Amino acid sequence: MQTLKDDIRQRILAIAREAFIAHGVRGTSIRQVAGKAGIAVGNIYTYFSSKDELFCEVLRPLLHALNRYIQSHNDERNLSINIFTGQEIQEEHIMSIKTLVQKFRAELRLLLFQAEGTSLAGYKAKIIQHQAEIAQEYLLLMKARYPHINTNISPFLLHIACSTWMNLFSELVEHDEYSEQEIDCALRQYAAYSTAGWKALMNP
């Protein structure tokens, strides 16, 4: 019986995802989702208390992936002085960004550009704030390992840097007309530009 209930829940989520992507949050109703799922409207409320909760559940895999990506900035592999010169590490970061966008482009468009009126509205600012907090932690971790480096970085600059990254990420999500080669080139040039700046500031 539980398996059947899980199947219904997953069917609701799959149909809601399609509806949100096709019509946006405002253009999607619980009644529409119920009709396409072949269940009563009241039955949807057995699984989700509101359209907002349904929307959040549709985007939950993306939110987990975003959080993991941001947290990975402070993974052991990145806590190395080689971060300023290692091409392999930069390539991994570029691949992570591309994979995230390719896997969740439709959901990212909903989250970043169409979440007005939901509890996920303004999520860009939350991402920027989270990144800035992780960056502050990163500086502390690096200073503990490499006491000679400069970590006296303005918190406002960290905020600006995170906002700049968010704008770049949003552009990748919004525009799919660029070729793979153009995207790779832009990301590699941004990585080189950004790394050179941090290297100049931190004097590793």
Which pLDDT does position 155 carry in this prediction? 96
Which pLDDT does position 4 carry in this prediction? 54
Which pLDDT does position 1 carry in this prediction? 44
Whether residues 96 and 167 share a domain: the answer is yes
Whether residues 27 and 115 share a domain: the answer is no
Domain count, the chain: 2
Whether residues 77 and 110 share a domain: the answer is yes
Pairwise CA distance, residues 110 & 54, whole Å: 13
pLDDT at 3 over 80: no
Whether residues 48 and 66 share a domain: the answer is no
Place of tokens 């390539």: 91
Which pLDDT does position 88 carry in this prediction? 84
Whether residues 45 and 100 share a domain: the answer is no
Q: Enter the tokens of residue 120.
A: 């996920």
Work out the mean pLDDT of the chain and round it to a whole number.
Answer: 93
Domain end (from 55, 76, 99) = 55
Pairwise CA distance, residues 27 & 45, whole Å: 19
Which pLDDT does position 100 carry in this prediction? 95
In three-state secondary structure terms, 53 is helix
Task: Say what the pTM is.
Answer: 0.92
* Amino acid code (one letter) for 26: R
Which pLDDT does position 6 carry in this prediction? 85
- Average the pLDDT over 41-60 and give the result: 95
Structural domain boundaries, residue 73: 60-202
CA atoms within 13 A on the CB side of 154: 5
Which pLDDT does position 90 carry in this prediction? 85
Whether residues 189 and 118 share a domain: the answer is yes
Residues found in the chain: 204
Domain containing residue 31: CATH number: 1.10.10.60
**Closest among 140, 169, 174 to 155, alpha carbons compared:** 140
**Closest among 60, 55, 52 to 16, alpha carbons compared:** 55
Whether residues 137 and 48 share a domain: the answer is no
Structure confidence at residue 121 as a pLDDT band (50, 70, 90): very high
- Average the pLDDT over 57-69 and give the result: 97
